[in-house]
């Protein structure tokens, strides 16, 4: 059986759609360093809301990319960790984040050039 993300009905589409998410990439990147508690993750990944972090982790758990373990400590402690399967992905996931950090200046320069020149214009063809 051959899978192809370019085919609409292919189940890989569902997976790709899930991975291609800012929060997923950031969560996996952090968990690569080691297990982490919910609120710790929340503080590390600035700007993520509780709801979204909760949903993201739940999906990642279902997909077998992270595990969730609760400890019956004083206030309950919940620790999330990356699985071996998740680890095979995190390298690639982090590469995207690193690309953004490395190439942000080139992208911003391109945006400035685009906005300055063709910004509001209607597309002129080969004029």
Partner DNA sequence: TCTACATGGTTTCAAATTGAAACCTGGTTT
Partner DNA sequence: AAACCAGGTTTCAATTTGAAACCATGTAGA
DSSP E strand boundaries for the chain: 36-37, 66-71, 77-82
| Partner that binds at residue 54, options a copy of itself, DNA, none, CB closer than 5 to 8 Å by kind | DNA
Provide the 10 A C-beta neighbour count for residue 112: 10
DSSP 6: T
98 binds DNA (CB under 7 A): no
What's the rounded Cα separation, in Å, for the pair 19 and 99? 16
To the nearest 10 degrees (0 to 180), the angle between helices 12-19 and 22-31 is 70
Burial of 78 (0-12, 13-18, 19+ CB in 10 A): middle
103 binds DNA (CB under 7 A): no
78 binds DNA (CB under 7 A): yes
The neighbouring-strand residues paired with 71 are: 77
69 binds DNA (CB under 7 A): no
51 vs 125 by CB, closer to a copy of itself: 125
Binding-site size, DNA (CB under 7 A) = 23
Among residues 35, 40, 81, 113, the one that binds a copy of itself under rule CB under 8 A:
113
58 binds DNA (CB under 7 A): yes
DSSP 20: S
Q: Which residues bind DNA (CB under 7 A)?
A: 21, 23, 37-40, 47, 49-52, 54-55, 57-58, 68, 74-79, 123
Q: Which residues bind a copy of itself (CB under 8 A)?
A: 3-8, 11-13, 15-17, 19-22, 24-26, 29-30, 44-47, 61-65, 68-72, 76, 85, 88-89, 92-93, 95-97, 99-101, 103-104, 106-111, 113-115, 123, 125-126
């Amino acid at each position: 059986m051959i899978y192809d993300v370019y085919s609409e009905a292919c189940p890989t589409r569902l997976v790709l759609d899930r991975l291609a998410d800012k929060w997923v990439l950031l969560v996996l990147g952090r968990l690569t360093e080691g297990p982490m508690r919910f609120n710790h993750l929340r503080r590390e990944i600035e700007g993520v809301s509780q709801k979204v972090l909760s949903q993201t982790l739940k999906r990642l758990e279902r997909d077998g990319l992270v595990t969730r373990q609760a400890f019956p400590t004083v206030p309950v402690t919940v620790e999330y960790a990356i699985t071996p399967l998740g680890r095979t992905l995190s390298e690639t996931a982090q590469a995207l984040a690193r690309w953004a950090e490395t190439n942000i200046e080139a992208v911003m320069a391109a945006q400035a050039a685009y906005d300055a020149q063709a910004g509001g214009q209607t597309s002129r063809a080969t004029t």
